[in-house]
Chains A and B, each alone.
Chain A
Amino acid sequence: MHKTRIIKDKTAGATMLALTIFSILFVVVMFVGLYLKSVPVLEGKSLWSLLSSSEWKPIKGEFGFLPFIAGTLWVTFIAILLALPVSLFTAFYLTEYARPAVRKFVFPALDILAALPSVVYGIWGTLVIVPLISDRLAPHFVEYSSGYTMLAAGIVLGVMVIPLLVSLFIEVFSMVPRDLREASLALGATRWQTSQKVVVRKTLPGILASTVLAVSRAMGETIAVLMVCGCVMTIPKSPLDSGYPIPALIANNYGEMLSMPLYESALMFAALILFVVVFIFNLLSRIVLYRMEKRIGQ
């Protein structure tokens, strides 16, 4: 009896270790695969010229990725800018202010929002946000805008990210011990003061980590963005310009025109850029997170 349970325990441990190594290995394999596929396009041009050029003429073998990088950054930036405050205050309300009955109603609603397929968000963006921008908003600022803009993509993406961020923030805020809130309240602090000065401070690393997760998610979102971003290969100068984020580029073109030399390699390189950007972003935030936790003394 004794022996079997120990053998079971050891087997379970070894299996889980193997699976963990497998998932990490997967990331490495993916990186190596993308890199190997990108080699042809990297051999033709220097890395810098690929990243800084705006020329995209596959027939001539010209591949400049700057417009796509810029498009990705625009869309992600707008999305997070919109989603962050909304999510933060929603999470505050739900954890610090709302009655349990309200929570019971809102949590499932958020889950539904999170579970909607992204193509549904794309359609909503096309039918509602795009016309709203082209007819109502853009005329105040520019002569003409199709509505298929970085702003439209940012809004759609922002709304998609909100449920994710809210549930992450709620998770983070719920980890704050009740004693800590009460220590603040017992000194005569209002709930708002307690939220601002104690809950936020205590959870700053968690807020940051959640935001990084949301940014990574936003950078990679494809379908919904593709449907409303305009897919124009220029560097967007304002939120009311069209653009072409990297995931949209890959999704739109992969599988087509692959007879063109270097085209597939260029798309793989685009994927590699996305991979590396998300990777570096996560790495940097880890470092910041580590410093922060040390400073707060947790």
Chain B
Amino acid sequence: MIEVKNLNIHIKDAHILKDVNVTLPERQITCIIGPSGCGKTTLLRTLNRLIDSTEGVRLAGQVLVDGQDIIRSGAEITELRRRIGLVSQRPCPLPMSIFNNVAYGCRINNLCKGKELHRRVEENLRGVGLWDEVKDRLHAPAARLSIGQQQRLCLARSLAVEPDYILADEATSALDPISAKTVEDLFVKLKERYSIIMVTHTLRQALRIADHVVFMYLGEIVEQGSADQVFHHPQHELTQKYLSGAFS
């Protein structure tokens, strides 16, 4: 389980996240929703500390991943990042073959090699429904795949290092409708084994797949709870307005 306690983030002079307190349940899809610029992506990037590469960033508060505070200095970031996979908005295949893209994470983390590595690559490509499409050209450059295939490859790559959590930052927004549907269905399937935290801009997508919803506005958490509760019985006026389409 991931718990965020009193998280405040400043980037240079801007106060991006304000006293954020969130609980992200296990083996569920949590959708973080809210208008552009409300801090959804910043929150997501804090969970695997990718936020560190942002210039002039200051973090305060706690982010507990399975009870361990990852903000505290001295936290092992590479192991943390292995445990928390990321699927970004635009698919980003590494400049290598399809096979090596999936094998990359296993190799750099010294997880497995040889036959075991092959087995794991195949298993994960099958897991995202890509194996049959690419099994004859595993050593072709990944950049030659279609965008939708690339995104599934990136998902397979994240899963190959056996994470516990998957972060998805608008992972379907750059895809065509059919690919988007495929990837979305995959997430639903994956929640049996992983805790998925998803930033999404499309409310309809959140309605379809979210178990748990976090609504953010201007760097603050306005409301959070089960999908049923937030979507059908929103407590806060802002949430009601957002859901009704008064702003987006």
Contacts and interface: CB of A to CB of B under 8 A. Distances in A.
B143 A297 contact: yes
Interface stretch (B17-25, B48-56, B231-239): B48-56
Given A179-B88, A179-B90, A296-B141, A186 B50 contact: yes
B92 A180 contact: yes
Contacts of B142: 297
A187 B143 contact: no
Nearest to B55: A100
Contact of A187 (B90, B144, B157): B157
A42 interface: no
A189 B50 contact: no
A210 to B, nearest CB: 17
Most buried by B among A100, A188, A189: A188
Given A182-B53, A186-B50, A188-B78, A295 B141 contact: yes
Contacts of A100: 55
B154 interface: yes
Contacts of A198: 94-95
Given A182-B92, A201-B96, A297-B142, 8 more contacts: A182-B53, A183-B154, A187-B104, A187-B105, A190-B78, A201-B95, A202-B95, A298-B95
Contacts of A188: 78-79, 81-82, 105, 108-109, 161
A177 interface: yes
Interface in B76-94: 78-79, 81-82, 84-86, 88, 90, 92, 94
Interface string B96-109: 10000000110011
A184 interface: yes
A42 to B, nearest CB: 47
Interface string B136-152: 00001111100000000
A179 B91 CA distance: 9
A193 B50 contact: no
Q: How large is the interface on B (under 10, 10 to 19, 20 to 34, 35 or more residues)?
A: 20 to 34
A193 B141 CA distance: 20
A24 B43 CA distance: 54
Contacts of B82: 187-188
Interface in A170-202: 177-190, 193, 197-198, 201-202
Contacts, number: 80
B108 A187 contact: yes
Nearest to A190: B78
Contact of B92 (A177, A189, A201): A177
Interface of A: 100, 177-190, 193, 197-198, 201-202, 295-298
B158 interface: yes
Contacts of B161: 187-188
Contacts of A180: 92, 94-95
Interface of B: 48, 50, 53, 55, 78-79, 81-82, 84-86, 88, 90, 92, 94-96, 104-105, 108-109, 140-144, 154, 157-158, 161
B94 to A, nearest CB: 6
A186 B87 CA distance: 9
A179 B78 contact: no
A185 B143 contact: no
Contacts of B105: 187-189
B95 A183 contact: no
9 contacts: A180-B95, A183-B92, A185-B53, A187-B81, A187-B104, A187-B109, A187-B157, A188-B82, A201-B96
A174 to B, nearest CB: 14
Given A100-B55, A179-B90, A198-B94, A185 B141 contact: no
A98 to B, nearest CB: 12
A205 to B, nearest CB: 10
User: Top 7 closest A-B pairs, CB basis?
Assistant: A297-B141, A188-B82, A186-B86, A187-B105, A297-B143, A202-B95, A183-B92
A179 B92 contact: yes
B86 A296 contact: no
Contact of A186 (B79, B81, B90, B143): B81
B81 A298 contact: no
Contacts of B86: 182-183, 186
Given A183-B88, A187-B105, A296 B95 contact: yes
A177 B143 CA distance: 14
Contact of B88 (A182, A189, A296): A182
Contacts of A190: 78, 108
B247 to A, nearest CB: 29
